[in-house]
Amino acid sequence: MNESIDPNRLPKHIAIIMDGNGRWARSRGLPRIEGHRQGANSVEAALTACGELGIPYLTLYAFSNENWKRPKEELDFLMGLLRTYLANQTERLIKNGVRLQVIGRRDGLSPDVIDAIDQAIEKCKDGAMQTLVLAINYGSRQEIVDAVREIAFDVQQGRINIESIDESTIAKHLYTRDYPDPDLLIRTSGEMRISNFLLWQISYAELLVTSKAWPEFGKEDLYAAVAQYGKRNRRFGGI
């Protein structure tokens, strides 16, 4: 293990806003889609680094529900890339003990993407070393809306008393109900924004923004982020 990483101070869950693919490509005179293609390699690097470090949860913001505003060619490419990733990487994920999960709304995704997601989840369901959560067609406010609808329905059906609703009720109705909250949120490419990602879940996460674009974010960058996380003093509102 890297010397500056304290094995007793590892995050259990890292979430990443993978930003800067387009700018990375443009600055090299390449079409934006080349940035996404290269970004898929960084996904592998981050997942491998988490596996090496023994960090059990990695959540990646692969496609937000605002991303539909992009040009059709870029959308087609991104959806194709996700489908190919899900189809081609499954064997590797299984071999490495990676369980795959997807969060986000299914409405709006094409049937072939939904099919690729379902097949990959099913094949990787026994992975016991790591959980990779891909946020696809995800928006945190929409997630909260969906949770509120479910809770309201449960109240209507008499399954929940209004007085018993607390933080854990909300957490249990989010898409992320089965995972711990992220300890570390990384955003690449320098923007100081959360962009509707895991708003509830990152309440106490450490934030790390790097100027590197996602396509150039490698294993060593994830190691460096974890080393920095180990030096943070997390107080959770205490002193």
* CB of 130 closer than 8 Å to CB of 44: no
Q: How do the residues of the chain divide into helix, strand and coil, expressed in percent and rounded to 5?
A: 45, 15, 40
Stretch of residues binding ligand FPP (CB under 6 A), selected from 78-86, 145-153, 169-177, 193-201 = 78-86
* CB of 144 closer than 8 Å to CB of 199: yes
For residues 50-69, which are near ligand FPP according to CB under 6 A? 60, 62, 67
Q: For ligand FPP, which residue of 10, 15, 20, 133 counts as binding (CB under 6 A)?
A: 20
- Nearer to ligand FPP by Cβ, of 115 and 150: the residue is 115
181 part of the active site = no
Strand partners, 66: none
Q: For ligand FPP, which residue of 36, 99, 173, 187 counts as binding (CB under 6 A)?
A: 36
The residue from 19, 181, 183, 221 that is catalytic is 19
User: In angstroms, what is the minimal distance from the CB of 44 to ligand FPP?
Assistant: 8
Q: For ligand FPP, which residue of 10, 14, 18, 184 counts as binding (CB under 6 A)?
A: 18
Q: For ligand FPP, which residue of 14, 15, 19, 201 counts as binding (CB under 6 A)?
A: 19
67 part of the active site = yes
Residue holding tokens 């600055």? 27
169 binds ligand FPP (CB under 6 A): no
* CB of 25 closer than 8 Å to CB of 193: no
What are the strands, taking DSSP E only, across the chain? 13-17, 57-64, 98-103, 130-138, 184-187, 206-209
Q: For ligand FPP, which residue of 11, 22, 56, 127 counts as binding (CB under 6 A)?
A: 22
43 binds ligand FPP (CB under 6 A): yes
Tokens of 93: 């994920």
Q: For ligand FPP, which residue of 179, 214, 217, 229 counts as binding (CB under 6 A)?
A: 214
Closest alpha carbon to 48 in 180, 174, 222: 222
**Distance of alpha carbon 74 from alpha carbon 68, whole angstroms:** 10
**Distance of alpha carbon 170 from alpha carbon 90, whole angstroms:** 32
81 binds ligand FPP (CB under 6 A): yes
Contacts with ligand FPP by CB under 6 A lie at 18-23, 36, 39-40, 43, 60, 62, 67, 81-82, 85, 134, 214
